């Protein structure tokens, strides 16, 4: 059975299941149901930030350090969707090739396929597979869409926001967006001119926050991923945050993660079953034709279709 193979760390079985989850193959959800009780051990770390901040190179350096510590690692890289194949454009994975032959490192690239927020609809399921495989750390890299890329905080225990000196002038403008989800800031390419100025701006922004004594105060770690500098400190801070996270209890994280997963799968199943009903009765095509002819507006049409579904 595929579940047993995945629990034993079979990479081929895991890859097949992940592909099936990504493609929405019927029956794959049963495997996830079987794997779910075996999850909850991995430290899920999300890395997000604007394109060009060096997230992929930073992950490559983090994996190198984690492997020296004997940790097994899963990597989920969310890539832009190819306009030709509807698959992932594997730009991020190319930067991690030195770990491609390491059997203790599993790298999976998936496409957003139109999903906003920096993740993919299949991200939760794939993280479940990686966790069940026994990975100690799972690194999730978002696609790099910008300020609204906040879904990762609902998936990860620890969220790292990667910034660079080039963002210095824009820190104040975007502080109400992506920066607010950071558990840790990684000021990457710290050897560039202007990094000190950016560092001071981030610290000023953080000092303006009204934090309780028990709240986590996000540290700012200066890194140079391409040189491997600051990586040890970055990973040390992720461990510090995990300790803090566990001290606060897992209920909030589990509730948030569970709600997100439940909502995502509920919508997916509801839409699939609704379309199945409509296709059998041809209401969907008929309504499309009526809208095209100008006989009805899309809003009224949607209400009528929902009425048809509810009657069924």
Tell me the per-residue pLDDT of 115-131, one tens digit each, with 9 for 90 and over: 444 456 788 889 999 99
Quote the pLDDT of residue 89.
Answer: 47
157 versus 281: which is more confidently predicted? 157
Residue with tokens 């560039």: 192
Domain 2-248 part of CATH 3.90.380.10: no
- pLDDT top residue among 92 and 157: 157
pLDDT of residue 107: 93
Give the residue from 43, 42, 80, 46 showing the smallest Cα distance to 162.
46
* pLDDT tens digits along 129-158: 999 999 999 999 987 655 445 677 778 899
What whole-number distance in Å separates Cα of residue 97 and Cα of residue 293?
53
Structure confidence at residue 250 (pLDDT): 61
More reliable by pLDDT, 143 or 39: 39
Which of the two residues, 150 and 302, has the higher pLDDT score?
Answer: 302
Give the pairing type, strands 105-111 and 43-48.
unpaired
At residue 120, the pLDDT reads 63
Location of structure tokens 């770990």? 99
User: Region 48-61: what's the mean pLDDT?
Assistant: 89
How far is 238 from 224, CA to CA, in rounded Å? 17
Per-residue buried b or exposed e for 73-84, using 16+ beta carbons within 10 Å of the residue's own CB: bbbbbbbebeee
The more confident residue out of 312 and 41 is 41
- Predicted confidence (pLDDT) at residue 263 exceeds the cutoff of 50: yes
* 153: nearest Cα among 255, 58, 256: 256
Residue 293 has pLDDT above 80, yes or no: yes
Count of C-beta atoms within a 10 Å radius of residue 96: 21
Which pLDDT band holds residue 265 (cuts at 50, 70, 90)? confident
Which three-class secondary structure string do you get for 120-138? CCCHHHHHHHHHHCCCCEE
pLDDT greater than 70 at residue 200: yes
What are the structural domain ranges in the chain? Answer: 2-248, 260-311
238 vs 98, higher pLDDT:
238
Q: What is the mean pLDDT of residues 180-198?
A: 88
Provide the pLDDT for residue 130: 96
At residue 88, the pLDDT reads 43
Select the more confidently predicted residue: 122 or 259. 122
Q: What is the pLDDT, as a whole number, of residue 149? A: 54
> Is pLDDT of 87 > 50?
no
pLDDT band at 78 (very low <50, low <70, confident <90, very high): confident
63-67: list long-range contacts, CB under 8 Å, 24+ apart: 63/96, 63/99, 63/105, 63/139, 64/98, 64/99, 64/228, 64/231, 65/228, 65/231, 65/232, 65/235, 66/136, 66/137, 66/235, 67/99, 67/102, 67/104, 67/105
Determine the pLDDT at residue 79: 73
CB 237, CB 184: distance < 8 Å: yes
Q: For a pLDDT cut of 70, what percent of the chain falls above it?
A: 79
- Between CA 82 and CA 90 the distance in angstroms is 9
Average pLDDT for 186-204: 87
pLDDT at 237: 98
């Amino acid at each position: 059975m595929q579940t047993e193979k995945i629990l034993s760390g079979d990479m081929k079985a895991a890859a097949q299941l992940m592909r099936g989850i990504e493609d929405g193959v019927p029956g794959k959800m049963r495997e996830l149901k079987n794997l779910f009780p075996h999850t909850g051990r991995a430290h899920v770390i999300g890395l997000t930030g604007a394109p060009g901040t060096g997230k992929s190179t930073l992950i490559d350096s983090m994996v190198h350090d984690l492997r020296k510590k004997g940790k097994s690692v899963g990597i989920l890289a969310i890539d832009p969707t190819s306009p030709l194949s509807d698959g992932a454009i594997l730009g991020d994975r190319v930067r991690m090739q030195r770990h491609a032959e390491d059997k203790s490192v599993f790298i999976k690239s998936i496409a957003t396929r139109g999903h906003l927020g920096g993740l993919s609809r299949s991200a939760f399921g794939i993280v479940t597979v990686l966790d069940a495989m026994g990975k100690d750390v799972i690194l999730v890299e978002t696609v790099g869409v910008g300020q609204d890329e906040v879904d990762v905080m609902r998936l990860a225990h620890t969220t790292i926001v990667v910034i660079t000196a080039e963002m210095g002038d824009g820190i104040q403008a975007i502080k109400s967006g992506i920066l607010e989800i950071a558990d840790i800031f990684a000021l990457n390419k710290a050897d560039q001119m202007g990094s000190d100025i950016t560092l001071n701006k981030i610290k000023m922004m953080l000092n303006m926050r009204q934090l309780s004594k028990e709240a986590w105060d996000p540290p700012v770690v200066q890194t140079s991923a391409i040189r491997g500098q600051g990586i040890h400190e970055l990973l040390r801070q992720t461990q510090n945050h995990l300790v803090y996270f566990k001290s606060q209890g897992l209920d909030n994280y589990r509730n948030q993660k569970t709600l997100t997963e439940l909502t995502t799968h509920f919508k997916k199943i509801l839409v699939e079953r609704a379309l199945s009903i409509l296709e059998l009765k041809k209401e969907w095509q008929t309504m499309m034709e009526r809208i095209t002819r100008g006989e009805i507006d899309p809003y009224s049409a949607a209400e009528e279709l929902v009425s048809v579904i509810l009657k069924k």
